[in-house]
A and B are shown apart, each in its own frame.
Chain A
Amino acid sequence: DTGVSQNPRHKITKRGQNVTFRCDPISEHNRLYWYRQTLGQGPEFLTYFQNEAQLEKSRLLSDRFSAERPKGSFSTLEIQRTEQGDSAMYLCASSLAGSLGQYFGPGTRLTVL
């Protein structure tokens, strides 16, 4: 499968715990994006990378959230001290810089109890 993959697909955690999600983009894509989607809403942009550089962060990305793409390939999104409001689907997408269209992964559904 050469599409965008995300792991885990589902994560249930207790409030206050830390969680980390992984995204593996399409191999030749140099841009990688993270979005968050709550029930009934369209996805909301969180941050994106070009290669290993994080170029933009949304104000939605509080200081409890951190994203990395250390070698310009896979990326991780960590949420520290999770809150119930963090419960959502976290989507990753990749593209080639300047190309017209992003390819999304299946998402990681986070439930914070």
Chain B
Amino acid sequence: DAKTTQPTSMDCAEGRAANLPCNHSTISGNEYVYWYRQIHSQGPQYIIHGLKNNETNEMASLIITEDRKSSTLILPHATLRDTAVYYCIVSPVLYDKVIFGPGTSLSVIP
């Protein structure tokens, strides 16, 4: 599986956009980019995925660079409830298991 690199921690002011970067320079052509988050004392929660095109859902937007070597998860209006660890994962289409890295700890500050 391709490896990902994320910053260890980030802060974001409440109400502002949170932009979480992820590098995946060795991603293969058939591998998706997935994002999960884990709020303290809860199980991880699937957020969004993408292959080549940018994606948006009710939770977030995913921007993937044209060369697919990096991506950014955007939370457009961060709230205190978005404080969590965010995991960026790359994996083939029919993936069996999720390989989590250490993720980015996002703190949304009032």
Q: Which residue of A lies closest to B105 (CB)?
A: A40
- On chain B, the residues within 8 Å of A101 by CB distance are 34, 46, 49
Interface centre among A97, A101, A107 (most CB of B within 10 A): A101
When C-beta atoms are compared, the residue in chain B nearest to A109 turns out to be B41
The closest CB in chain A to the CB of B103 belongs to A42
The DSSP consensus for interface residues of chain B is loop
Interface size class of A (residues with CB under 8 A): 20 to 34
Determine if A103 and B102 form an interchain contact, defined as CB atoms under 8 angstroms apart. no
Whether the Cβ atoms of A44 and B44 lie closer than 8 Å is no
Smallest CB gap from B97: residue in A: A45
Closest to A93 in B: B43
Would you call B45 an interface residue if the criterion is a C-beta within 8 Å of the partner chain's C-beta atoms?
Answer: yes
Contact assessment for B102 and A41 in the assembled complex, using a CB-CB cutoff below 8 Å: yes
| Chain A residues closer than 8 Å to B85, beta-carbon distance | 42
Sampled A-B contacts (24; CB under 8 Å)? A4-B43, A33-B98, A42-B85, A42-B101, A43-B44, A44-B100, A45-B97, A45-B99, A55-B96, A91-B43, A93-B43, A93-B44, A93-B98, A98-B93, A98-B94, A100-B32, A100-B49, A100-B93, A101-B46, A102-B44, A104-B43, A106-B42, A107-B42, A107-B43
